[in-house]
Each structure stands twice: as C-alpha cells, then as structure tokens.
Amino acid sequence: MEQRGSFGVKGTGDTSGYGGLVRTKVNPGSSERPYGSYFDDVADELERAFPQFNEAIERVVVDRGELTLFIKKEHLFATAKALRDVDSLRFEMCLSVSGVHYPEEKDRELHVVYHLLSMTHNRRIRLEVALPDSHPHVSSLVEVWGGTNWHERETWDMFGIIFDGHPALTRILMPDDWQGHPQRKDYPLGGIPIEYHGATTPPPEERRSYR
C-alpha cells in the first residue's frame, strides 16, 4: 500500500501533504500464538467468556508492542460488553474512538478504532472494525461506555461513519450545515470556495510556508 504525505519533511515548512512524498507501507498480518505479554491472557479469557469469539474475531494483530482485535461489525456490541463486564477482563474505559479512511480497501474503506483501558488489571488493547463506504454503519457503544458519546459524534463528523443507536448523532466540530467529512482522503484539501466565519481556505500552493 502506498502512503502519501508530508512525513519525514525537514526544513521545507510543508505541512499540507503536497510534498510529493511516497513510500510503501506494509500492514501487519495476523499474529500467531504466543502473542506475548498479557495478550494471550486477554485472548484466552475473552474466548472462555464469549462463546462467539471465533466467529466475531477476524484476526489478531500484535505490532510494536500493542494488541489489536479486528472485530466483525455485527459482533462489536456483544464483544465490547464482554470486555467490560467479565471480571478477568474488566475494560472499564474506552479512551477514544477514531476513524481511518483506506480508499484502496474495497468494501473495507472505513475503519473504526477503539482504545480500551482496564484500570483493574492495568491493561490496554485496541479494537478495530472495517466498514464498506457504501454502508458505513456500526453499532454505537454509548450504552457500553458512556464516554464514547462525543467520540462517536466526532468520528461521524470527520469521516461520515454512522453509529446506529447513538442518542444524538450530530456534528460536534463543524457547523451543522457543513457538507462532507473533512478527514476523509477524498475530501478536497483547499482550492475550493470554503467559507467559515468570513475566512477562506486558499489552495495549498498559495499558503504561507511556516519555517
């Protein structure tokens, strides 16, 4: 997969992502047991407590010392409740919900990422769910972790991901009448007549270079 942007730029002041830099990025594949650290315990305990474990989990990835469980979207809510309620897991907090846009992944263009914390066991894991751009729906987890309310609103605002069952899924950063979702990779980055509080966004090549 190609990654484009302003990574690694030094001395140019280019923060727009238009520096023409391209590098190949390889996404890590499924990890094999043993995962190491407490990751095996989390997987074992979830499998014991959650009968649909093998059906719900697409793959398990351990990369750079972090555990990510890729969950099928129809099993997200039940998996989240098990992670919160089972005494041997007890992930009481969802620290953040964020979106990612991979336009090259057919029928999996939009991902939702959840960072979880168990204060009881001092553990952190990540959940990730892939959605098709044609139907970007996933269950809201506000009922499981109340703090996801604003996070899900921001993810809807920036990426257009719809959290079914959210009590009030409205924009939180952009004005209510804003068109589009600004953190998607197909969203225009300047060069179009956008007005916000009397200001305009110039094309990238006309912006000031900060050094």
In-domain check, residue 152: yes
37 in a structural domain: yes
Q: Pick the closest to residue 27 from 71, 57, 68, 56 (CA basis).
A: 68
In a domain, 207, yes or no: no
Residues facing residue 111 across a β-bridge: 100, 130
Q: What tens digit of pLDDT does each residue of 151-192 get?
A: 999 999 999 999 999 999 999 999 888 889 999 998 876 655
Is there a domain that residue 110 lies in? yes
How far apart are alpha carbons 128 and 122 in whole angstroms?
Answer: 20
User: The domain containing residue 55 runs over which residues?
Assistant: 29-172
Would residue 114 count as lying in a domain? yes
Domain membership of residue 180 (yes or no) is no
- For residue range 84-107, list pLDDT tens digits in order: 999 999 999 999 999 999 999 999
The rounded distance, in Å, linking the Cα atoms of 173 and 94 is 20
CATH number at residue 133: 3.30.460.80
Q: Which residues pair with 67 in a beta bridge?
A: 62
Given a contact cutoff of 8 angstroms between Cβ atoms, the answer to whether 72 and 66 are in contact is no
Answer yes or no: pTM beyond 0.85.
no
DSSP 177: T
In a domain, 9, yes or no: no
1 part of a folded domain: no
Q: Residue 211: is its pLDDT beyond 60?
A: no
Length of the chain: 211
pLDDT in tens, 33-78: 899 999 999 999 999 999 999 999 999 999 989 999 999 999 999 9
Number of separate domains in the chain: 1
**Burial of residue 162 (number of CB atoms within 10 Å: 0-12, 13-18, 19+):** middle
